[in-house]
Amino acid sequence: MTTVITGGSRGIGAATARRLVRDGHRVVISYRQAAEQARALERELGVLAVRADTSDEDDVARLFDAAGEDVTGVVNNAGITSPAGPLAQLRTEDLRRVVDVNVIGAFLVAREAARRMSSGSIVNVSSGAATLGSPGEYVHYAATKAAVDAMTIGLAKELAPQGIRVNCVQPGTIRTDIHRLSNMPDRPDRVASRVPLGRAGEAEEIANAIAWLLSAEASYTTGAVLRVTGGT
């Protein structure tokens, strides 16, 4: 069984690659810029790493070409934020890029999966922000993740007759580089006191949920949006 993980070179994607290799998957990861990290994972885990920008349909097609015929799992994980702030201060180019990667990119990957998979499981990575809205930080990002949730529900129904399950994980605040990239490197520590479980999450805790949704144990689960947020 081959599983494609987009944005697999670091963070939640890399943790998922580690977990799925342990579970016996043949794993293909995509990366956009972090070639060195991707090559290191190739050596460490024996995965195949392919450079592919998920917002580019030709790159997405190349990624699936490289993965081969027997793709039974897709983790639609690549996603970005932009410098954070109230909507009034956000730049148009950042709004466009976040929509392009988080919505169009997620659609392009899901569409390629729908075209090529004959059965299996797709897991989309959304965010707890989809239902909280992220005021003052990134309402645009939260809205793109709500789109991912809606896509999950529709696609689950559309692809069920083909034996393809489609589910979604909504991570809460997880310790990865994404917070540095939105100019809030201390965000995991800052939000900890507001999280019912009292701490930010770790990438492995999201990987565990993704692995379950991909597994045969989730054989009757489709269209589910699974919140893994420590209770927020």
Which of 31, 138, 141, 220 does the annotation list as catalytic? 141
Q: Is residue 20 within 8 Å of 89, Cβ to Cβ?
A: no
Among 10, 19, 140, 227, binds ligand NAD (CB under 6 A): 10
Q: How far apart are alpha carbons 204 and 202 in whole angstroms?
A: 5
Nearest distance from C-beta of residue 142 to ligand NAD, angstroms: 10
Indicate if 141 belongs to the active site: yes
Measure Cα distances from 37 to 6, 8, 9, 82 in Å.
Answer: 14, 10, 6, 22
Size of the site for ligand NAD (CB under 6 A): 29
Give residues 192-211 in contact with ligand NAD (rule: CB under 6 A).
Answer: none
Nearest distance from C-beta of residue 154 to ligand NAD, angstroms: 19
Nearest distance from C-beta of residue 55 to ligand NAD, angstroms: 5
Q: Does 73 bind ligand NAD (CB under 6 A)?
A: no
Among 3, 18, 28, 30, binds ligand NAD (CB under 6 A): 30
Q: Does 178 bind ligand NAD (CB under 6 A)?
A: yes
Q: Does 53 bind ligand NAD (CB under 6 A)?
A: yes
Q: Does 31 bind ligand NAD (CB under 6 A)?
A: yes
Locate 121 and state its tokens. Answer: 């499981």
Q: How far apart are alpha carbons 221 and 214 in whole angstroms?
A: 10
Burial class (CB in 10 A: 0-12, 13-18, 19+), 196: exposed
Among 3, 82, 121, 127, binds ligand NAD (CB under 6 A): 127
Burial class (CB in 10 A: 0-12, 13-18, 19+), 170: buried
Q: How far apart are alpha carbons 228 and 232 in whole angstroms?
A: 9
Contacts of 220 (CB under 8 A, 6+ apart): none
Catalytic positions = 141
What are the residues binding ligand NAD (CB under 6 A)?
Answer: 6-7, 9-13, 30-32, 34, 53-55, 77-80, 101, 105, 125, 127, 171, 173-174, 176-178, 181
